[in-house]
């Protein structure tokens, strides 16, 4: 029996202020509602993003005062739709903030929180500044899964995509949908975005929903776009291309169970030991 779910990915642009981020998010959400989604998904830093010499400095606020989050909670309640708030910056301690993803139910209540675990500290050769998310972000230390009327959802954010083990752990604990809200850089996106999202779907026999911001970041940087929905067989069902917009489609979650029966690799983990053999001193 089919388990159908209509989802909309909102492909927002990185916005430097609460007001501009809120305006675009709500406008795209209203556009999406014309297609009747049960779940709306937004990208990473959909509550606003700026940078300064490689440091991420988005506008941030306490959770109960965050203007974009409050607007999305109100939208969810008024429109009776679930919303995955890809991530917003929530004020932490010592001048830092959490890069926090939240799930809102159709009454606008927060049902799940996830603070990004793996922080984007890299140095691209052709970039004058190293990206150092850890300079401003307080990392999380807990994986989050949510039981919903649609099925079990696993949470991650952007750079987490490169750490396959967390997705396997979520899938082995029943996750059928893996969320990957992102603001992937254009350079790494062109090289790795489609491959990594397809790999996470194939490895885990799960749907991957990956809304990604698109466009220039004030202060430096460029988000890749190409929001994706990938099925458990690794087929790309939708690609948002570049620029702001909405992609909406219906998925059948029954395909998760079918795929995992065909390739039951989640059940085939084995214990092993690592043996390192030093042959550096031997003659060749």
Q: pLDDT tens digits, residue range 98-140?
A: 999 999 999 999 999 999 999 988 776 555 556 778 888 899 9
pLDDT digits (tens, 9 = 90+) for 7-38: 999 999 999 999 999 999 999 999 999 999 99
Considering 9, 41, 46, 158, which one is annotated as catalytic?
A: 158
> Which tens digit of pLDDT belongs to each residue from 52-89?
876 888 999 999 999 999 999 999 999 999 999 999 99
For the question of residue 273 being annotated catalytic, the response is no
The DSSP bridge pattern shows strands 110-115 and 97-104 to be: antiparallel
| CATH number of this structure's domain 4-265 | 3.60.110.10
- Which has the higher per-residue pLDDT, 284 or 227? 227
Q: 151 is written with which tokens? A: 């099925």
Residue 46 a catalytic site member? no
Our separate counts of H helices and E strands in the chain read 6, 18
Q: Which of 73, 116, 152, 186 is catalytic?
A: 116
Secondary-structure breakdown of the chain: helix, strand, coil percentages, each rounded to the nearest 5: 30, 30, 40
Tell me the pLDDT tens digit for each residue of 254-268: 999 999 999 999 999
Tokens standing for residue 124:
């691209």
Q: Are 40 and 246 in contact (CB under 8 A)?
A: no
Alpha carbons 75 and 55: distance in angstroms, whole number:
31
116 catalytic per annotation: yes
Q: Looking at 44, 152, 176, 212, which residue is catalytic? A: 44
């Amino acid at each position: 029996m089919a388990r159908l779910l209509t989802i909309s990915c909102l492909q927002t642009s990185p916005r430097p202020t609460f007001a501009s981020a809120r305006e675009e998010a709500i406008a795209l959400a209203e556009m999406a509602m014309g297609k009747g989604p049960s779940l709306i998904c937004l990208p990473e830093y959909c509550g606003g993003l700026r940078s300064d010499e490689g440091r991420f400095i988005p506008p941030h606020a306490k959770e109960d005062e965050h203007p974009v989050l409050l607007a999305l909670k109100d939208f969810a309640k008024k429109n009776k739709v679930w919303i995955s708030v890809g991530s917003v910056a929530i004020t932490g301690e010592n001048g830092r903030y959490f890069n926090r993803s939240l799930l809102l139910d159709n009454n606008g209540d927060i049902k799940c929180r996830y603070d990004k675990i793996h922080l984007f500290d890299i140095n691209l050769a052709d970039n004058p500044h190293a990206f150092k998310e850890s300079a401003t972000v307080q990392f999380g230390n807990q994986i989050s899964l949510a039981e919903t009327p649609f099925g079990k959802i696993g949470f991650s954010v952007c750079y987490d995509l490169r750490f396959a083990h967390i997705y396997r752990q979520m899938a082995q604990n029943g996750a059928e949908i893996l969320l990957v809200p992102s603001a992937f850089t254009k350079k790494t996106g062109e090289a790795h975005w489609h491959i990594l999202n397809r790999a996470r779907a194939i490895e885990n026999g799960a749907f991957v929903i990956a809304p990604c911001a698109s466009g220039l970041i004030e202060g430096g940087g460029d988000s890749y776009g190409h929001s994706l929905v990938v099925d458990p067989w690794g087929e790309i069902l939708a690609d948002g291309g570049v620029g702001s917009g909405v992609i909406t489609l219906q998925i059948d979650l029954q395909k998760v169970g079918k795929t995992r029966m065909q390739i039951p690799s989640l059940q085939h983990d084995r214990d092993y030991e690592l043996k390192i053999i030093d042959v550096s001193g031997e003659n060749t």
